[in-house]
Structure 1
Amino acid sequence: MSQSLKDSTVLSNGVKMPWLGLGVWRVKEGQEIEDSVKHAISTGYVSIDTAAIYGNEEGVGRAIHNSGAARDKLFVTTKVWNADQGYDTTLKAFEESRRKLGLDYLDLYLIHWPVKGKYKDTWRALEKLYKDGLVRSIGVSNFHVHHLEDLLDGSDVKPMVNQVEYHPLLTQKPLLAFCKDHNIQLEAWSPLMQGNLDLPLLAELSEKYKKSPAQIVIRWDIQHGVVTIPKSVTAHRIEENANVFDFILSQEDMDRLDGLNQDKRFGPDPDHINF
């Protein structure tokens, strides 16, 4: 059982990936992103998750550089955007992201969405980057089971991570089971349901465990074996989100949280993306 902010899961290729990281979706380039990332690192976070489309890779890079943290102690993720998918364009997009981040290598590079007709060529580019040692691990984001099955057919390297929308209102049990069966680490984006935490059960468990509703949900993720990357730009929230390693949800309460599932998405369905 994970007991500290520095605890990690081990990916299928042996790379260690922290259970908890900072997501920076919609964090503004400039002072906001730099302050958020620097405070997270000073709090003890070692995992930072960004993407080309977020428009803040340069700020993440500056924050990492100015934090003074040793590069080999950090786990940095970014993603190739849909418009850049395809073999050659993905390789070019990777170099642009690496330049903006100011890093010699990345720890995890993901296909952001399963763009029909392109994601398999994109995956070939990720395989090359991985084999060339420019990224320590590769994976996908927003892939359903059928996307994963298609990708696994004929690939040289299996995805190590699948980052998807995952929270108590969208438990995606078949996807979680598939990923566990194939040793693909599931990772949750928007774990806090974009702030929609006003649920009676979360209020009840918050009182029971003396933790915030957000902390309850993050702990639920981790106990399900799901890596999670809650986003915040507020110092005390960044600290609060990390303070989830000193309690354990009972199996009964885990089951009750599972029971909140409504297959409700706050983001797009990967089968119906319009990007």
Structure 2
Amino acid sequence: MEYITLNNGLKMPIVGTGTNTYGKVSHEYNGALTNEIPELISALELGYRSIDGAIMYRNEELVGRVLAESNVPREELFITTKVPANEEYISSKEATRAAIDNSLKNFQTDYLDLLLIHFPIEDKVQLKNTWEVFEEYYEAGKLKAIGVSNFGKNHLDVLKEFANVKPAVNQIQVNLKEPNKDLLAILLEEGITPVAWGPMKAEIHQKEALDEMGKAYNKSGAQVLLRYQIQRGVVVIPKSHNCKNQASNIDLFDFELSAEDVEKINNL
């Protein structure tokens, strides 16, 4: 595994696994919860250590139980979760504290590696109050890093007005369908690590070009795309329920794309 160093010095695995459909009937986001997450168990066995969760996924407790029951030491895990931008969680500082405390309980840990605001909070007062609680838990050591998700430049600019702790990451959609080039450039320039959700989305013609490119590296087009992402400093959190695909998605560290191929992908 390779790591990226966040702006506060914390090292984060550059590849992780999403969990938004783990432990759910038919692997549907809104599916009823089951009592098992075999896909998380296989991910851990394959070497995944960054686990991307969220309160909105409804499965924190189940994910936390599997992590606690695994043989992976807590210090090797990088656990991320997200507080929704819903009134229930941001109506007051007490509500935000309760949300964080409940996530800590669900993950059976006394600290989280990364906590994010899941979506932009449009009300400036509520954003300020929520971020101040994040900073409070960060200073207390209960959060190793704090950040945001799905924030645009305008949202980041508002946060700058009062934040004492700079967001460590912004988790956004970054892929060939939605390259998000302008925001990506801003994040890299400002030292906010971009974390890509949906990192493997691509149009059919793009997938065909990636598959062809991969032949020279003895890699699949999907592996080429993930390698392209991490080579430019983007953390990726691919998700699969298939053990073979999980293994492929983390098998990215024995090759490097040429500058010429990176430029070809840029222009796809």
Q: 1:264 maps to which residue?
A: none
Give 3-state SS (helix, strand or coil) of 2:116's partner.
strand
Higher relative contact order (CA 8 A, sep 6+): 1
Q: How many Å separate the matches in 2 of 1:197 and 1:69?
A: 40
Question: What amino acid does structure 1 have at the position aligned with 2:48?
Answer: Y
Deviations 1:190-233, CA, capped at 9 Å, x for gaps: 11128978633122223332212221111011011000000111
Q: 1:47 maps to which residue?
A: 50
**Aligned partner (choices 242, 262, 265) of residue 254 of structure 1:** 262
The equivalences for 1:207-246 within 5 A come to 207-246=215-254
Task: Identify if the C-alpha distance between structure 1 residues 203 and 194 changes in structure 2 by more than 3 Å, giving closer, same or farther.
Answer: closer
Q: 2:74 maps to which residue?
A: 71
1:180 and 2:195 correspond: no
Q: 2:90 maps to which residue?
A: 85
Which consecutive unaligned segments of at least 5 residues does structure 1 have?
A: 261-275
Q: How many Å separate the matches in 2 of 1:85 and 1:255?
A: 42
Say whether the 8 Å CA contact 2:60–2:107 is kept in structure 1. Answer: yes
Q: How many Å separate the matches in 1 of 2:106 and 2:178?
A: 34
Q: 1:11 maps to which residue?
A: 6
Residue 180 of structure 1: CA displacement? Answer: 1.8
Task: Identify if the C-alpha distance between structure 1 residues 230 and 197 changes in structure 2 by more than 3 Å, giving closer, same or farther.
Answer: farther
Kindly, what percent of the aligned residue pairs are identical?
39
Say whether the 8 Å CA contact 1:77–1:107 is kept in structure 2. Answer: yes
- Cα RMSD (Å) of the superposition? 1.8
Task: Identify if the C-alpha distance between structure 1 residues 134 and 197 changes in structure 2 by more than 3 Å, giving closer, same or farther.
Answer: farther
Deviations 1:244-271, CA, capped at 9 Å, x for gaps: 11111111211221223xxxxxxxxxxx
Normalization by structure 1: what TM-score? 0.87
Q: Tell me the number of residue pairs that the alignment of Structure 1 and Structure 2 aligns.
A: 254
Question: What amino acid does structure 1 have at the position aligned with 2:65?
Answer: R
Moved more, 185-194 or 232-241: 185-194
Say whether the 8 Å CA contact 1:197–1:214 is kept in structure 2. Answer: no
Q: How many Å separate the matches in 2 of 1:194 and 1:109?
A: 28
Q: 1:269 maps to which residue?
A: none
Give 3-state SS (helix, strand or coil) of 2:165's partner.
coil
Q: How many Å separate the matches in 2 of 1:101 and 1:202?
A: 38
Which consecutive unaligned segments of at least 5 residues does structure 2 have?
A: 25-32
Deviations 1:108-145, CA, capped at 9 Å, x for gaps: 00000002103332211111111111110000000111
The equivalences for 1:22-171 within 5 A come to 22-27=17-22, 28=24, 29-32=33-36, 34-83=37-86, 84-86=89-91, 87-117=93-123, 118-171=126-179
Q: How many Å separate the matches in 2 of 1:256 and 1:127?
A: 41
Deviations 1:162-213, CA, capped at 9 Å, x for gaps: 1000012222222122112221111000111289786331222233322122
Give 3-state SS (helix, strand or coil) of 2:254's partner.
coil
Question: What amino acid does structure 2 have at the position aligned with 1:170?
Answer: E
Q: How many Å separate the matches in 1 of 2:77 and 2:203?
A: 27
Q: How many Å separate the matches in 1 of 2:52 and 2:205?
A: 22
Q: 1:189 maps to which residue?
A: 197
Give 3-state SS (helix, strand or coil) of 2:188's partner.
helix
Question: What amino acid does structure 1 have at the position aligned with 2:18?
Answer: G
